[in-house]
Chains A and B, each alone.
Chain A
């Protein structure tokens, strides 16, 4: 069902027992399975308010991020959390609900750090507003944040406000190779405590004795030579890519072009020091994976039975989110703060109209 007005949305919500809002369905695993009414919110689309000098914008939740990025780009600004799957049609609301940020979140923070306000319709068909539209606000509970990663379980987001930053004039990426994951990790851990401004810090195991480290910097190009030289003094020599080619590489990464044709895409938050263990498991399963955000996150192209990965995550005390794959049960591994989540769910959705997160 695709409502186009608030009234229509309201009557749909009030007349259906179990609902799941969605945008353009770019994250296939997050689409509801049987018995749930799908609420297509892509009709609520468009930028509502954008004044570049404010570093903020408000847009309808069904707006495609491609459109938003385009408008921001024309004004020399960007979404610093580097949202993924943009060319797959990802919408603003869907990105919030799935709580996804890309490699670029390493520099300034993730989606949660840039969301300012939300207007949503609750299970009673009431419009509720929380947060604000200015870059700084501490009034009331931070409900916008709890919408991040809520997977549609708390209401139908209609309008979202975000903080943006001026985009770097240019980027440059240094790619270095190491013979083992451990040696790449050692370098990564050295880098994270240096005062160097890094936009992305990703690790890509290519085969058993080749691990690629990708470091992206941004800013005024006049400083690039000096900065790259400094990076090389820590990383060793490597390949430098710039311009269109460089942009294309990172574009492919955030669009997950590297994903094999079949199987699932799973997001698993980790810490650098846990990378070794999980990598041993993943390489045993011959799985393509990418460690992102300074090894705070691994994107897994899982081709085996999802139950096996779920079991592994449970045993390791890790949580995961299936982003692309069969719909139904996207959250795998351990769940943190379940009793707290239940309280929030009870408060925000007492009628249980929205899908259970």
Chain B
């Protein structure tokens, strides 16, 4: 049997385990010139492989061990990322174990080790585990390594190194993506950016903040609060999610109808492109000339490199808020109320709807004071200058009273308002109480078809026998069906995913979108062709190739 045939990858050197003599010689011959085999038994005896036999490693970091078959081979591959795969073959009743590793990974890792001290270059199994997935936990991939840069220069050097060695990299902030945005790539690295968390400049008079990519969303508003300003985009995860991630996936939130998404609040960016070039796009002005390059970059899902620094537009904090809760006996009535509010000419800061399952979960989790018996709960919030909001409030109340609401409550103070929002923003995690696992979709339908969409989702839920909780940004027609399942049951995840897919198809059929704010990521790759045709996708791909010819930046996301 030809050694390596089972691995079938030309570029990968292959080593086998049995018999030390000749095989090891061949193994050495296949290594980079400066690599020497050394015995590493002592070094590893205290670690996860304590029962293993003889280990060998190279000065460039390659590692093998010869004796002892079975699980330990897998452990070895896990333990030492340059080994990409382990395969077992039985030839003449003798079991052979083959290790496959990318030739260049060893030299890549040793170069990486020159950039980072050991504490910020993670390669051990236990260290890598927390980075295997983001908030889309159904997908897990162990990266070769994780680096934790503290400066922009380190990020730039890392990207350049990745480019030279053709190693895929995934930028990661707090890992809150619901579409698998920061899922690692096998054989690639994760660049964890949380330590690039400096607010570099805050210019209240020009209403802007220059921040590093790892700054937490809410921290921008916290810093700006001293000047009566805030950063408008407020994804539910804003307590932990980072600006870099917000930017890469053009995050939304509850206030998009009036204030837009992240893209509408980014003035300028400094980025490192996948080939290592560092460029500035945009600037500090609200206006620009020439193609809106910042606009294209925002929402590119990490496929255009890494944002290092962002100039954000800040807004004056609304002087007052008026938050109204209205309860409905059925979801359609709540949907109708949304249309009535919109038709009235009032422009609320937010219009949200939650269904009974979501209300129950949120109420149990944070005691927001939601009416537990409501089939649909509408949250409408007005914000702005006091004199303006006061008058709009009168008009809004007329509309709500005219709707079929059976209970109306107005937030009596800021604490009450915060409670209402806390309930809404923790709805996803609260639903976790109802079910061991869930999938969240964020498809969009034209607002006037919200009612129809909800009926359709209910039907699908019944057909599949899967519970679906609904929370949505009703003002935007942005659905958030939470599809509940138990991952321990065989086939449950696949079934839930199938249901999710049907909802996405429905959104496209209704003239909407497969994603309003979570992005395509890894999760919705199959559905991009449902929304766009071949020429559309080819055009997007050609942009990607021009910016990242080696396709190493967040490889495997967005496109099939």
A119 nearest CB neighbor, chain B only:
B536
Assuming the contacts A54-B447, A219-B391, asked whether A269 and B285 have C-beta atoms less than 8 A apart, the reply is: yes
Report B409-465 residues with CB < 8 Å from chain A CB.
444-448
Asked if A348 lies at the interface with its beta carbon under 8 angstroms from chain B, I say yes
Report A181-226 residues with CB < 8 Å from chain B CB.
189, 192-197, 219-220, 222-223, 226
A227 near B384 with CB under 8 A, answer no
A112 near B347 with CB under 8 A, answer no
A54 near B293 with CB under 8 A, answer no
Assuming the contacts A53-B343, A127-B535, A269-B289, asked whether A141 and B296 have C-beta atoms less than 8 A apart, the reply is: yes
A169 to B345, CA, bound (A): 9
Asked if A270 lies at the interface with its beta carbon under 8 angstroms from chain B, I say yes
Write out the residue numbers on chain B whose beta carbons fall within 8 Å of the beta carbon of A340. Answer: 273, 279, 281, 293, 547
Asked if A242 lies at the interface with its beta carbon under 8 angstroms from chain B, I say no
B291 near A134 with CB under 8 A, answer no
Within the complex, the shortest CB–CB distance from A353 to chain B, in Å, comes to 14
Q: Which of B252, B284, B291 contacts A344 (CB 8 A)?
A: B291
Interface pick from B23-31, B151-159, B312-320, B363-371: B312-320
B387 near A109 with CB under 8 A, answer no
Write out the residue numbers on chain B whose beta carbons fall within 8 Å of the beta carbon of A138. Answer: 249-250, 252, 261, 299, 513, 515-520
B539 near A122 with CB under 8 A, answer yes
Interface pick from A33-41, A145-153, A233-241, A243-251: A145-153
B347 near A166 with CB under 8 A, answer yes
> For the side of the interface on B, what is the size category?
35 or more
Assuming the contacts A135-B477, A139-B514, asked whether A128 and B539 have C-beta atoms less than 8 A apart, the reply is: yes
A105 to B319, CA, bound (A): 21
B292 near A76 with CB under 8 A, answer no
Report B250-281 residues with CB < 8 Å from chain A CB.
250, 252, 256-258, 260-261, 263-264, 273, 277, 279-281
Interface pick from B102-110, B202-210, B495-503: B202-210
Interface pick from A6-14, A20-28, A304-312, A331-339: A331-339
User: How many residues on A have C-beta within 8 angstroms of the other chain's C-beta atoms?
Assistant: 89
Asked if A267 lies at the interface with its beta carbon under 8 angstroms from chain B, I say yes
A101 to B287, CA, bound (A): 9
B532 nearest CB neighbor, chain A only:
A140
Write out the residue numbers on chain A whose beta carbons fall within 8 Å of the beta carbon of B531. Answer: 132, 139-140
A193 near B391 with CB under 8 A, answer no
Write out the residue numbers on chain B whose beta carbons fall within 8 Å of the beta carbon of A321. Answer: 289-290
Within the complex, the shortest CB–CB distance from A298 to chain B, in Å, comes to 10
Write out the residue numbers on chain B whose beta carbons fall within 8 Å of the beta carbon of A272. Answer: 205-206
Q: Which of B250, B289, B532, B542 contacts A347 (CB 8 A)?
A: B542
A133 to B449, CA, bound (A): 14
Q: Which of B204, B277, B448 contacts A53 (CB 8 A)?
A: B448
Asked if A357 lies at the interface with its beta carbon under 8 angstroms from chain B, I say yes
Write out the residue numbers on chain B whose beta carbons fall within 8 Å of the beta carbon of A76. Answer: 345
Q: Which of B446, B476, B546 contacts A343 (CB 8 A)?
A: B546
Asked if B390 lies at the interface with its beta carbon under 8 angstroms from chain A, I say yes
A189 to B512, CA, bound (A): 41
Taking each of A167, A219, A331, which has the highest tally of chain B beta carbons within 10 Å of its own beta carbon?
A: A219
B446 near A142 with CB under 8 A, answer no
A218 to B16, CA, bound (A): 77
Asked if A293 lies at the interface with its beta carbon under 8 angstroms from chain B, I say yes
Asked if A253 lies at the interface with its beta carbon under 8 angstroms from chain B, I say no
A137 to B507, CA, bound (A): 11
Assuming the contacts A134-B511, A197-B384, A347-B539, asked whether A146 and B291 have C-beta atoms less than 8 A apart, the reply is: yes
Q: Which of A145, A192, A347 contacts B263 (CB 8 A)?
A: A145
Q: Which of B249, B277, B446 contacts A134 (CB 8 A)?
A: B446
A134 near B546 with CB under 8 A, answer no
A106 to B281, CA, bound (A): 21
- Could you mark each residue 320-357 of chain A with 1 if its beta carbon is under 8 Å from any beta carbon of chain B, else 0? 11000000000100011101110110111010000001
Write out the residue numbers on chain B whose beta carbons fall within 8 Å of the beta carbon of A122. Answer: 535, 539
Write out the residue numbers on chain A whose beta carbons fall within 8 Å of the beta carbon of B249. Answer: 138
B-side residues, CB < 8 A to A, are 204-207, 227-229, 249-250, 252, 256-258, 260-261, 263-264, 273, 277, 279-293, 295-296, 298-300, 316-319, 339, 342-343, 345-347, 384-385, 387-388, 390-392, 395, 444-448, 473, 476-478, 511-520, 524, 528, 531-533, 535-537, 539-540, 542-547, 558
* Other A-B pairs beyond A146-B296, A166-B345, A189-B205, 11, CB < 8 Å: A53-B342, A53-B447, A54-B446, A56-B446, A134-B444, A135-B257, A140-B531, A193-B227, A331-B289, A337-B281, A357-B291
15 contacts between A and B (CB under 8 A): A106-B286, A122-B535, A126-B535, A129-B536, A136-B516, A137-B444, A139-B513, A139-B524, A141-B299, A148-B292, A192-B316, A271-B285, A336-B281, A337-B281, A339-B279
A-side residues, CB < 8 A to B, are 51-56, 76, 99, 101, 105-106, 108-110, 112-113, 122, 126-130, 132-143, 145-151, 153-154, 165-167, 169, 189, 192-197, 219-220, 222-223, 226-227, 230, 267-273, 293-294, 296-297, 319-321, 331, 335-337, 339-341, 343-344, 346-348, 350, 357
